[in-house]
């Protein structure tokens, strides 16, 4: 395991550097944005419509605000060109800048599965003790996934570490038999049946759509359109 998790480590092929905790501020900003987007897309049009500054057609933004918020929640942490630095630092680029996950200090491992027409976009959601989050699948320059690196780092955690691992992530990492063991290295997270994965987008629509229409109705009422 690396002994340089706090210092800077230079990439062997580029002039960039990686450090533990890199990307924490961007995560806080993205998470704040996720919460603020629906509020802003609700309040600003209502105020401007009441003031007669814009058309009441802008109130329809409330139908998409929750979807926009969800996209930000995912894509702000989506990483690419992932590389390993100095043993335990996994470095990747995201839309919000460079993020570095400290594999030796993982606190939570989840799994994001988005069904498509030809294949499912399958990625791991990694969160470390520094507050950095990355959503990753493959390493840079090939088809090798990050699974081996993540599993090795998790198995090296000391007893009682209590890393939270979702059932789907444990299935991908072949750790399901480790979750119930008494060493306390892992804690079981959310459990979603595999058969429901393909229906999650539709189920999400049934949950989000009524809320979105409710926001639109409230906005129309507050804007005094009717």
Q: State whether 84 and 187 are in the same domain.
A: yes
Answer yes or no: is pLDDT of 115 > 50: yes
Q: So what's the pLDDT on residue 64? A: 94
Q: State whether 103 and 160 are in the same domain.
A: yes
Q: State whether 89 and 186 are in the same domain.
A: yes
pTM, two decimal places = 0.81
DSSP 125-174: EEEETTS-EEEE-BBTTSS-BSHHHHHHHHHTSPTT--EEE-HHHHHHTT
> Could you report the per-residue pLDDT of 135-165, keeping only the tens digit for each?
999 888 777 889 999 999 999 999 999 999 9
Q: State whether 170 and 210 are in the same domain.
A: no
Q: What is the mean pLDDT of residues 111-132?
A: 87
Q: State whether 163 and 97 are in the same domain.
A: yes
The answer as to whether 10 is a domain residue is: no
The answer as to whether 163 is a domain residue is: yes
Q: So what's the pLDDT on residue 82? A: 92
The answer as to whether 11 is a domain residue is: no
Q: State whether 90 and 58 are in the same domain.
A: no
Q: So what's the pLDDT on residue 13? A: 44
Q: Do 203 and 26 touch, CB atoms closer than 8 A?
A: no
Position 3 confidence tier, pLDDT thresholds 50, 70, 90 = very low
The answer as to whether 177 is a domain residue is: yes
The answer as to whether 2 is a domain residue is: no
The answer as to whether 124 is a domain residue is: yes
Residue 67's domain comprises 30-72+200-222
Q: Do 97 and 82 touch, CB atoms closer than 8 A?
A: no
Which one, of 142, 73, 65, 148, lies nearest residue 103 by Cα? 148
The answer as to whether 25 is a domain residue is: no
> Could you report the per-residue pLDDT of 212-224, keeping only the tens digit for each?
999 999 999 998 8
Q: State whether 50 and 65 are in the same domain.
A: yes
Q: State whether 46 and 103 are in the same domain.
A: no
Q: State whether 93 and 181 are in the same domain.
A: yes
Q: State whether 143 and 170 are in the same domain.
A: yes
Q: Residue 63 corresponds to which tokens in the numbers above? A: 């139908």
Q: State whether 130 and 186 are in the same domain.
A: yes
Q: State whether 141 and 177 are in the same domain.
A: yes
DSSP the chain: --S-SSS-EE-SSSS-EE-TTTTHHHHHHHHHHHHHHHHHHHHHHHHHHHTTSS-GGGGGGGGTHHHHHHHHHHHTSB-EEEEEETTTEEEEEETTEEEEEEGGGEEEEEEEEEE-SS-EEEEEEEEETTS-EEEE-BBTTSS-BSHHHHHHHHHTSPTT--EEE-HHHHHHTT-TTTTTSTT-SEEE-----GGGGGGHHHHHHHHHHHHHHHHHHHHHHHTT--
Structural domains counted in the chain: 2
The answer as to whether 134 is a domain residue is: yes
Q: How many Cβ atoms from other residues are within 10 Å of residue 186's Cβ?
A: 21
């Amino acid at each position: 395991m690396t002994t340089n998790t706090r210092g800077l480590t230079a990439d062997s092929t580029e002039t960039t550097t990686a450090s533990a905790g890199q990307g924490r501020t961007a995560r806080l900003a993205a998470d704040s944005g996720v919460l603020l987007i629906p509020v802003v897309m609700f309040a600003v049009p209502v105020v401007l419509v009441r003031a007669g500054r814009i058309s009441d057609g802008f109130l329809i933004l409330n139908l998409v605000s929750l979807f926009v918020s969800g996209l930000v929640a995912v894509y702000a942490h989506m990483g690419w060109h992932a590389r390993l630095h100095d043993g335990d630092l996994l470095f990747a680029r995201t839309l919000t800048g460079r993020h570095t996950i400290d594999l030796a200090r993982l606190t939570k491992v989840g799994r994001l599965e988005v069904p498509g027409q030809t294949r499912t976009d399958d990625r791991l959601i990694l969160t470390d003790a520094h507050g950095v989050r990355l959503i990753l699948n493959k390493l840079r320059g090939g088809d090798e996934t990050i699974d081996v690196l993540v599993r090795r780092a998790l198995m090296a955690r000391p007893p009682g570490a209590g890393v939270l691992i979702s059932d789907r992530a444990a299935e991908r990492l072949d750790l399901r038999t480790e979750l119930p063991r008494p060493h306390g290295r892992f804690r079981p997270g959310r459990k979603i049946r595999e058969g429901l994965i393909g229906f999650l987008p539709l189920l999400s629509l049934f949950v989000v759509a009524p809320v979105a229409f409710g926001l639109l109705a409230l906005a129309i009422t507050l804007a005094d359109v009717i």
